[in-house]
A and B are shown apart, each in its own frame.
Chain A
Amino acid sequence: MLLSELKPGEYGIVKKIKGTGALHRRLLSMGLLPGAIVRVVRISPLGDPVEYEIRGFFISLRKQEASFVEVDKVTPLSFIPRNSDVRVVFIDGGVGFVQNMGAMGIAVGKRLKIIAPCCPMQVKTEKGVFTLGRGMAYRVFVR
């Protein structure tokens, strides 16, 4: 789907930036790259542009420009309700964080079941049941 189709509060993982030229390059240098996580923050009161969070900062894009960005909708693990079955699509962190998660059976492609959504969050992975901090759960994206 297109970035412009996501609603406020929703997350997407960038698949591709279409187009060429100044806009294309500008989006890239802002860090809108394949694999990056984007959150839709809010829509301007007049309906356009839209504010997005990416890599910890905020940018505003017109809908027409956001439609150059192809995304897959994802959700942070922390937003997933009890008893849902989900699949991990992205872990936002450095090597260390990814390894720590991996040790608990949380890695890209793996399935998880939410035992308790909050607080603390408990998930069942192929390696057993683990407790996750809120900060951690925010950095694991699932579908």
Chain B
Amino acid sequence: MLVALAGNPNTGKSTIFNALTGMKQHVGNWPGVTVEKKEGETEIEGTRVKVVDLPGTYSLTAYTMEEIITRNFIIEEKPDVIVDIIDASNLERNLYLLTELLELHSKIVVVLNMFDEAQKKYSIDVEKMSRILGLPVITAVGIRGKGIDKLKDKIIHGKFNPKKVEYPEDVERRIEEIVELIKPLNIEPARWYAIKILENDAEVHKKVAELGGKDILHRAEHLRHEIEDIYGDDIESLMTSFRYSFAHGLFHEVAEPINVGGVTITDMIDHVVTHKIFGLPIFLAIMYLAFQFVFLVAAPFQDAIDLIFNGKSTATGHIPGLVDLSYNWMLQFMPAWLSSFINHGMLRGLGAVLTFTPVIMLLFLILSFLEDSGYLARVAFLMDSIMKKMGLEGRGIIPLMLGFGCNVPAVMATRTLKDEKERRLSIALNPLIPCGARIQVFAFISSIFFPSNPALVLWSLLILSMVVVFVLGYIYSKTIFRSKSEPFVLELPPYRMPTLKGISIHMWEKSEGFLRKAGTIIVGAAAIIWIFAALPWGVGYGSPDSYIGMFARWIAPIGTAFGLTPEAIISLIFGFFAKEVVIDVLYVLYGSKEAIYYAMSPIQAYSFMLFMLFYTPCVATLATIYNETKSKKFTFFVILEGFALAALFSFAFYTLTSILGVSV
């Protein structure tokens, strides 16, 4: 049995989906597009039921990918039952989608989700609604798992005798004429096709033309003009109005508003967080606290994982970690170079991936919280006029903010931008945002060289990156990534307390994706870098005599222009594979914090950080960029852009301070 979940965005669709399928679910993409597809399985009274979560949509026009996916799925896959998840607290608009679904399918179970919230707004006569619609209507509170059993029952035993959405007589007559005309084409559901032909729906128009229905389209055009003349408006407005009046009428039949005009909690929160003066500072403060939380909580876990893998050097000697122990153990039955490759190369790489995990998971935890609570939509509202200048819609801020955590999920998150040009623009800017790994390195270096105020130094780098992203975005959007701005019709949903379960699932889905994709690449890259760092055989790992060391010495004269020491260059090369490694490499090459302090001046250290802020994204980010754009040219462009900016800022800073004789 095949069941499809449909509904508006922000209706708790995924909560119901999770409650139905538990952890038996698979997240992928709809064929050929970047829209997420979720499938799961459940068993109801011995029947195996496949559940597909359709993308959240407001209607079923042919204007967005999500809408086309949804309707094509219903037409082509013919699910046995559609479950329309309705936000009961926003009944009227949610019923509009139901009017469109009713034209496509006859077996629809209506779920009035968030029913507890709705009861504060109006009293709803569920019985009456079910009677009018001729469909099973159930109430649910998805986040508390309420109503799921009823839903399962209705999926199997529901009685369906749906009411037709009726248009005015002079429209109905014309719909029927088209139904007759398309009979030879044999397309189902005929009434839906007829309505869409009348509405001049682009996709249906194409399909009918392909099937040789040119004459039908001509006739339909004539009928359309007639209707437009009768009612004095365009067909889209008219047909939407007719359906809306059905939704409107139904809404008023079954719901009696209570507490009209009262002040809601959402309104009170919005009054503060989108306040004219305090809105933006609050946004910055929330982001600051969020990242503080991520790093503070992640740090002990990261240290623990690091300790397990790499051991610890103390005054009295080295406490061996997993890597050392395993290396020694393998020496018993394999040559030293192989054991070193396996352990110092790959196992250490795995350690690096795992150390990164707590940050990624916490980051997604926070972001899921912000998203599920409704605040992210306010961010889009607050930031839109800034983002617009960069050629992005308000939501474009989200991948950029995510970039502060990790550019890999951030690049993945650009999928929320529909316009391809906007998406590329957003991807091109993203690596310029310092990720958590780079911020860690900056924090470490700042604490060595600027012990009196490391936070200020770190802050200066963050601000610089934001200014660069902004200016570059502005330039790009006017030149190479020029596009029409997307219509920015954004819903501001009421604030809701996210549930732990919802957030955990969200967090797991995204972290798992990262671990699998980026993890593999990082381990692979660690193996490759081992080859360059440990060979020729016999040299110290990553030492100036290794291939990497030789390369660093060869390039050192250029590095001096930026104040970079050969060791710093080596660390940057390693950083290409994973930015956080830069600290370790500096540590290994110099031996101690003190040695690092004496090897560079604070000016050099700052110049080094400037270089590191922008130079090429790490392997994992590049792999993701390529994966998302499938363009080598574009991926290469991103690398080039990074080096150009790194060289520009580092050189300008180092030269200027030298000329001016500034010292710290």
Q: Give me the interface of A with B, judged by CB distance under 8 Å.
A: 16-17, 20-31, 33-35, 41-49, 51, 55-62, 65, 76, 78, 93-97, 134-135, 138-139
Contacts and interface: CB of A to CB of B under 8 A. Distances in A.
Given A45-B280, A95-B249, 7 more contacts: A33-B240, A45-B279, A60-B488, A60-B490, A60-B491, A61-B489, A135-B261
A60 B233 contact: no
* Interface of chain A, main secondary structure: mixed
A96 B91 CA distance: 18
Contact of A44 (B249, B251, B382): B382
A65 B61 contact: no
Contact of B236 (A24, A49, A59, A96): A24
Given A30-B58, A95-B252, A135-B261, A48 B385 contact: yes
Contact of B488 (A62, A93, A134): A62
A59 B59 contact: no
Contacts of A58: 491-493
Interface string B376-409: 0100111111101000001000000000000000
A42 B236 contact: no
B568 to A, nearest CB: 40
Contacts of A47: 385
Interface string B225-258: 0000000011011001100100001011100011
Contacts of B384: 44, 46, 48-49, 60, 62
The 10 closest A-B pairs by CB, nearest first: A94-B252, A29-B59, A23-B487, A135-B260, A28-B240, A58-B492, A46-B385, A138-B261, A45-B279, A60-B490
B152 interface: no
B93 A33 contact: no
B633 interface: no
B252 A49 contact: no
Given A25-B61, A44-B385, A33 B487 contact: no
B90 A51 contact: no
B244 A31 contact: yes
Interface string B41-74: 0000000000000000011010110000000000
B236 A30 contact: no
Interface string B480-492: 0000000111111
14 contacts: A22-B63, A23-B489, A33-B237, A41-B270, A45-B277, A46-B382, A48-B388, A51-B270, A55-B93, A57-B491, A60-B394, A60-B491, A62-B388, A65-B489
B259 interface: yes
Contact of B492 (A23, A31, A46, A59): A59
Contact of A34 (B241, B258, B381): B241
Contact of A65 (B58, B487, B492): B487
Given A42-B270, A45-B279, A135-B257, A27 B234 contact: no
Contacts of B61: 25, 29
Contacts of B93: 30-31, 55-57
Nearest to B100: A29
Interface residues of B, number: 52
A48 B253 CA distance: 37
B121 A56 contact: yes
B388 A29 contact: no
B516 interface: no
Contact of B489 (A27, A41, A43, A139): A27
A83 B471 CA distance: 56
A24, A43, A60: residue with the most chain B Cβ atoms closer than 10 Å: A60
B244 to A, nearest CB: 5
Contacts of A135: 257-261
Contact of B58 (A17, A29, A42): A29
A109 to B, nearest CB: 20
Contacts of A33: 237, 240-241, 244
Interface string B85-122: 00000111100100000000000000000000000010
A62 B485 CA distance: 11
B453 to A, nearest CB: 30
A30 B91 CA distance: 12
Nearest to B242: A33
Given A25-B236, A46-B386, A55-B92, A61 B59 contact: no
B326 interface: no
Given A31-B244, A34-B237, A49 B381 contact: yes
B252 A97 contact: yes
Interface in B457-508: 487-493
A62 B350 CA distance: 47
B275 interface: yes
A47 to B, nearest CB: 6
B276 interface: yes
B584 to A, nearest CB: 42
A51 B234 contact: no
Contacts of A20: 234, 236
Given A16-B233, A31-B92, A44-B384, A49 B488 contact: yes
A8 to B, nearest CB: 10
Contacts of B394: 49, 60
Contacts of B520: none
B492 A51 contact: yes
Contacts of B447: none
Contacts of B233: 16, 34
Contacts of B386: 46
A45 B252 CA distance: 36
Contacts of B58: 26, 29-30
B381 A44 contact: yes
B68 to A, nearest CB: 12
A22 to B, nearest CB: 5
A61 B96 contact: no
Contact of B96 (A21, A29, A97): A29
A51 B488 contact: no
